[in-house]
Structures are given as C-alpha cells and as structure tokens.
C-alpha cells in the first residue's frame, strides 16, 4: 500500500536558511540564533530585516530599513475608504484579507515578481499591515482612524494607532517582544500556503492574501482567540481542572496546546508565560493567568506523555489583553508579525522555484460510466 504523509507531516520539500526547529528538545533558532536571544536583545524591525537579508544587519542597514518602514506607514486614501465602508461586526481576519488584496489593486508594482519588486513590496506590506489592522479595529468600533507617527517604533506606533494613546516604553517593548516571538516558524501552514501560491509565479499580494486565509483557522493562528474564549467559558480558576478533564474525556481538543512540531515545551510559550506572569503579578494575579496555570498543569499531567504542551498561542492572549487589545484582534496581530516570515520565505523559495504539486492516492471508482440525468434513480 502506498504510504500517505497525512497532513504532509515530516515531508521536506525545500531547503531554508531562515529557521531551525528541534521539536523534541523545544529549540527554535532564526539564522542559528536562539529565539530567547532574539526576544531579549532584538526588535521586530531587526529580526524582519535579518530574515530578509540572511544575516544580522549593521547599524546603518537597520537604520535605513527602519526609515523605509516609517516612510511607508501611511495607507492610500482609497484603502482607508474601503476599510471605513466594511460592514460592522465582521471577522477582522476577513477584513485584513480583503484590505491586503485591495492594496494590491492600488500598487502599480503588484504584478512584478522580480526579486527587487518582491523585496520593495515586502517593505510596504510590513509597514502597512500595522496601519491596516489598527484602522480595521478603530472603524469597527466606530472610532476615527489614527494616522501613523514616525517617531515611534513599529510596535509602539501600532499600539498608538490602535488605542489613540502613546504607549509607555514598557508596553511598547512588551508588544515588540511578542511580535519577535511570532515572526517566523519554518513551514507552518500559512507560510507553506504563501509559498504554494508563489510557486505558481503568482504575485506577492496573492501569496499574502492566501497566507492570511490559512492563518485564520483555529488549528493555526486562530487558536490564540480560541484560548481567550475558553478562559471566559471556564470563568474562575477553581473550575479549570474539571473543565479540562471533561473536555479530554469527551476527546475534545484544548486550544493553545499541542503542536505539529513541538513534542515538548514551545520555547516561545515559556517566554510568553514569564511575561504573562509578570503582567499578572503587577496587579495581583489575574483570573486569566491563574486559569492558564491550572490548564497547563492539567494538560501536561494528562497529555505530557503524548508530547502535548502549551504552544505560542496559549499565553499570548493574556499579554495582549493587558495591552488593551480585544481578543478578535489577536489573530490579526499574529499576522502583523508573521508577515515578515511569509515574505522572507516566499523570497527565499523564489530563488530556486519549483511548482508545488503533491499527489493524492486515488481511492474512487475506475470503471464507472456516464448516466444521463433522466435515467438516474
């Protein structure tokens, strides 16, 4: 019988120098550097550039890249209008997908798939994702959009555009770290989707629009919002153990735990857990954090042997909540970070492109014949 690689698990279809993961030991490296070092020392801007260039940038290179991002923060008036006119109460990931697709219509370079054009579009996409997501949030709440500021970091400016208030240095840094942790993760479903689209020699906006669609699902980026739903459903920490026990007895999945690659702690969830704890301790342990602690313990006790541990989506929501971000925007924020990984991966793959076209094992009939409509029972 032909072996089927269900979910393409473990299938290697390309080489990449960007990200290394050892799922058994819980190791994640970008350009060989551990994620913990990136989180501690770097910024979203620097990691994005490093992945695009394949090396740590010099101070001059980083300053130039930062200036390019800032120059490109504003979004076209026509797109602002489209966002303004979107129906209310929509899923923000649908709104993001539509806005990015529309942005492609306005970009005269959008059909150009040369490496130079892909790179120039990448800078605009990274810069404008932030403005688009903040604009969607504000208009959905019936508020005026806030124009970007050029004197703030990428993370700080996003929080400013989202809330209309300049964040503190601590808030900006915390959010920046969260972005760094989400930038890239090798051949995850959305990056793979972006690459599959680019492998047909399609344009950058099509690649990113398809990636947004893939990230939206609750088995991937949508899990961070689903974790918050679960916390609200649990209600209080004393109910968490019984809630999880019942779900597991019913063979239901727990959101924010388990991972296709990590069969041990996801190193990013540990960093996020420390920040979530720090945030919770500031104001006395929050309900959310205490529920998460109990869920983590219950899941690891019951499923640790199966390699099921908290993933990056488990603690991120409590950090975002503390920054005043609504749960519907957790997945767009994942996209705000992952845009850099998507673009860097598409550009890397395009250098030695091969059409992605796997096979399936046909299990249907082979000797059927057409029956005219009027003769069918």
Ligand X SMILES: O=C([O-])CC(=O)C(=O)O
Residues that bind ligand ACO (CB under 6 A): 7, 188, 219-221, 223, 253-260, 306, 308, 311-313
Which does residue 73 touch among ligand X, ligand ACO, none (CB within 5 to 8 A, set by kind)? none
Which positions ≥6 away from 124 have C-beta within 8 Å?
72, 107
DSSP string, 7-26: GGTT------SSEEEETTTT
| Residue placing its CB nearer to ligand X in the complex, 192 or 289 | 192
Assign 257 to helix, strand or coil: strand
Question: H or E segment at 33?
Answer: strand 33-34
DSSP annotation of 253 reads: P
Shortest Å distance, C-beta 345 to ligand ACO: 15
Which does residue 256 touch among ligand ACO, ligand X, none (CB within 5 to 8 A, set by kind)? ligand ACO
Closest CA to 346 of 122, 101, 66: 122
Per CB under 6 A, contacts with ligand X among 183-212 are: 185, 188
Query: How many degrees, rounded to 5, is the angle at CA 339 between CA 39 and CA 91?
Result: 110
Per CB under 6 A, contacts with ligand X among 275-314 are: 311-312
| Residue placing its CB nearer to ligand X in the complex, 260 or 270 | 260
Out of 261, 272, 299, 323, point to the residue binding ligand X (CB under 6 A).
261
Residue 313 falls in the annotated catalytic set: yes
Which does residue 261 touch among ligand X, ligand ACO, none (CB within 5 to 8 A, set by kind)? ligand X
Assign 351 to helix, strand or coil: coil
| Residue placing its CB nearer to ligand X in the complex, 57 or 317 | 317
Shortest Å distance, C-beta 85 to ligand X: 32
Residue nearest ligand ACO by beta-carbon distance? 258
Q: Choose, from 30, 154, 185, 259, the residue flagged as catalytic.
A: 259
Q: How many CB atoms lie within 10 A of CB 316?
A: 27
With both helix axes pointing from N to C terminus, report the angle between 204-216 and 115-140 in degrees, rounded to the nearest 10.
Answer: 40
Residue 176 falls in the annotated catalytic set: no
Which does residue 7 touch among ligand ACO, ligand X, none (CB within 5 to 8 A, set by kind)? ligand ACO
Q: Put residue 329 in one of left, alpha, beta given phi > 0 → left and psi -120 to 50 → alpha.
A: alpha
| Residue placing its CB nearer to ligand X in the complex, 205 or 334 | 334
Q: Is the Cβ–Cβ distance between 264 and 307 less than 8 Å? A: yes
Q: How many CB atoms lie within 10 A of CB 41?
A: 10
Out of 119, 247, 253, 260, point to the residue binding ligand X (CB under 6 A).
260
Which does residue 253 touch among ligand X, ligand ACO, none (CB within 5 to 8 A, set by kind)? ligand ACO
| Separation of alpha carbons 43 and 249, rounded Å | 42
Shortest Å distance, C-beta 185 to ligand X: 3
Task: Compute how many residues bind ligand X; rule: CB under 6 A.
Answer: 6
Q: Choose, from 107, 203, 266, 313, the residue flagged as catalytic.
A: 313
Rule CB under 6 A: say whether 331 interacts with ligand X.
no
| Separation of alpha carbons 159 and 147, rounded Å | 12
| Residue placing its CB nearer to ligand X in the complex, 122 or 188 | 188
> Residue 238 burial by CB count (10 A; 0-12/13-18/19+): exposed, middle or buried?
exposed
Which positions ≥6 away from 41 have C-beta within 8 Å?
none
Residue nearest ligand X by beta-carbon distance? 188
- Which stretches of the chain bind ligand X, using CB under 6 A? 185, 188, 260-261, 311-312
Q: Indicate which residues carry an active-site annotation.
A: 259, 313
């Amino acid at each position: 019988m032909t072996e089927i690689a269900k979910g393409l698990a473990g299938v290697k279809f390309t080489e990449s120098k960007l990200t290394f993961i050892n799922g058994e030991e819980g190791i994640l490296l970008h350009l060989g550097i551990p994620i913990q070092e990136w989180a501690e020392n770097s910024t979203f801007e620097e990691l994005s550039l490093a992945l695009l260039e394949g090396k740590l940038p010099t101070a001059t290179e980083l300053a130039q890249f930062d200036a390019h991002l800032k120059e490109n923060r504003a979004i076209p008036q026509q797109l602002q209008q489209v966002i303004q006119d979107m129906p209310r109460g929509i899923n923000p990931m649908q709104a993001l997908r539509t806005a990015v697709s529309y942005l492609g219509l306005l970009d005269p370079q959008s059909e150009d798939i040369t490496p130079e054009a892909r790179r120039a579009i990448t800078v605009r996409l990274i810069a404008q994702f932030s403005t688009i997501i903040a604009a969607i949030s504000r208009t959905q709440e019936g508020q005026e959009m806030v124009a970007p500021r050029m004197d703030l970091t990428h993370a700080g400016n996003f929080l400013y555009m989202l809330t209309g208030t300049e964040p503190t240095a601590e808030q900006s840094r915390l959010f920046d770290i969260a972005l760094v942790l989400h930038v890239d993760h090798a051949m995850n479903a959305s990056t793979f989707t972006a690459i599959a689209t680019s492998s047909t020699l399609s344009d950058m906006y099509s690649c990113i629009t398809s990636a947004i669609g893939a990230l939206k699902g609750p088995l991937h980026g949508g899990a961070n919002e689903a974790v918050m739903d679960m916390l609200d459903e649990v209600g209080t920490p004393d109910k968490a153990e019984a809630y999880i026990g019942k779900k597991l007895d019913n063979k239901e999945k727990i959101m924010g735990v388990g991972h296709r690659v990590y069969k041990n702690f996801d190193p990013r969830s540990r960093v996020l857990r420390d920040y979530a704890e720090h945030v919770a301790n500031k104001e006395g342990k929050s309900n959310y954090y205490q529920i998460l602690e109990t869920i983590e313990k219950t899941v690891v006790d019951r499923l640790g042997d199966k390699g099921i541990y908290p993933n990056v989506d488990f603690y991120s929501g409590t950090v975002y909540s503390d920054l005043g971000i609504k749960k519907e925007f957790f997945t767009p924020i994942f996209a705000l970070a992952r845009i850099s990984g998507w673009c860097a991966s598409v550009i890397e793959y395009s250098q030695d492109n091969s059409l992605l076209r796997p096979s399936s094992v046909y299990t249907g009939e082979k000797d059927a014949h057409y029956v005219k409509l009027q003769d069918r029972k």
